[in-house]
């Protein structure tokens, strides 16, 4: 099991879904990925930590009006590890982004910043104060890759370098002549590419590891989800599909 003990600044460290129906989401993802859920009282709402074999892999919570009104859409959110949440919030503003809510201190868990980058993409930042984020990655039922799909990759490279110290490298990957890798300490931690359709919003896409992409697509359909892009092969990467859960939250699956 590829376990993680700590995350360096700039590394995606936590995935969280804001769901239109958190009970339905728990049922869907629990059956799909074999997740079990730990309920945590967050002062008037319940935050669910999804676990795989007892190890945290993701978070689930009900989308609240204050979130949607504040600019956070329903769907999956990506959090980047940072060393200092307060300094990060200041850096977001200086780099042309928008801090959506004040820095939030979750006792014995983390200090978090919810923001939009300079192109309006929702993104979270996570200063661990007890909970590092996902304790397991890149195994069936856990996130294997994070990818920014945006209108301007070059602008994104500048923003995330300024805010989280992420370096980047652009070159051939799979079937693409140019793909950008965000790097931390010289290692790839996430990707970026121009969004496939100009009318779609910018967003951070999540890829979940699965053993068999086609079998997982069929299971998602049986559970009430939908196909956004049918399963396809990517040279040297694996077999991928773009899916949506029953509430419309988009996510990717990937079998190596």
- Judge whether residue 1 has pLDDT over 80: no
Which of 194, 165, 157, 158 is CA-nearest to residue 177?
Answer: 194
pLDDT at 232: 96
| 93-136 tens-digit pLDDT | 999 999 999 999 999 999 999 999 999 999 999 999 999 999 99
pLDDT at 70: 87
pTM equals: 0.97
Confidence of residue 36 (pLDDT cuts 50, 70, 90): very high
Residue 56 in tokens? 């945290």
Confidence of residue 43 (pLDDT cuts 50, 70, 90): confident
pLDDT at 2: 77
pLDDT at 219: 98
Domain 143-255 has CATH 2.130.10.10: no
Confidence of residue 3 (pLDDT cuts 50, 70, 90): confident
Confidence of residue 217 (pLDDT cuts 50, 70, 90): very high
How large is the C-alpha radius of gyration of the chain?
A: 17
Domain 12-128: which CATH class? alpha beta
Residues of the chain within CATH 3.10.180.10 domain(s) are: 12-128, 143-255
Inter-residue contact 1 to 223 (CB < 8 Å): no
Which residues are registered as beta bridge partners of 39? 48
| 166-200 tens-digit pLDDT | 999 999 888 888 999 999 999 999 999 999 888 88
Confidence of residue 137 (pLDDT cuts 50, 70, 90): very high
pLDDT at 103: 97
pLDDT at 71: 87
């Amino acid at each position: 099991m590829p376990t993680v003990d700590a995350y360096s600044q700039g590394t995606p460290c936590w995935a969280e879904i804001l769901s239109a129906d958190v009970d339905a989401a728990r049922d869907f993802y629990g059956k799909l990925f074999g997740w079990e859920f730990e309920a945590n009282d967050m002062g008037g709402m319940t935050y669910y930590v999804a676990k795989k074999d007892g190890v945290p892999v993701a978070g689930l919570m009900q989308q609240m009006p204050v979130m949607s009104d504040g600019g956070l859409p329903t769907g999956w959110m990506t959090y980047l590890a940072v060393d200092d949440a307060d300094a990060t919030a200041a850096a977001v503003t200086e780099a042309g982004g928008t801090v959506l809510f004040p820095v939030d201190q979750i006792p014995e868990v983390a200090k978090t910043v919810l923001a939009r980058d300079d192109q309006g993409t929702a993104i979270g930042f996570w200063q661990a104060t007890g909970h590092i984020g996902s304790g397991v990655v890149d195994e069936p039922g856990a996130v294997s890759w994070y990818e920014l799909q945006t209108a301007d990759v070059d602008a994104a490279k500048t923003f995330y370098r300024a805010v989280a110290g992420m370096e980047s490298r652009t070159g051939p990957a799979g079937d693409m002549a140019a793909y950008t890798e965000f790097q931390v300490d010289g290692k790839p931690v996430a990707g970026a590419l121009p969004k496939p359709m100009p009318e779609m919003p910018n967003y951070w896409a999540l890829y979940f590891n699965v053993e068999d992409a086609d079998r997982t697509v069929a299971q998602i359909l049986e559970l009430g989800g939908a196909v956004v892009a049918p399963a396809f092969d990517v040279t040297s990467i694996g077999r991928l599909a773009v899916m949506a859960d029953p509430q419309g939250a988009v996510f990717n699956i990937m079998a190596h």
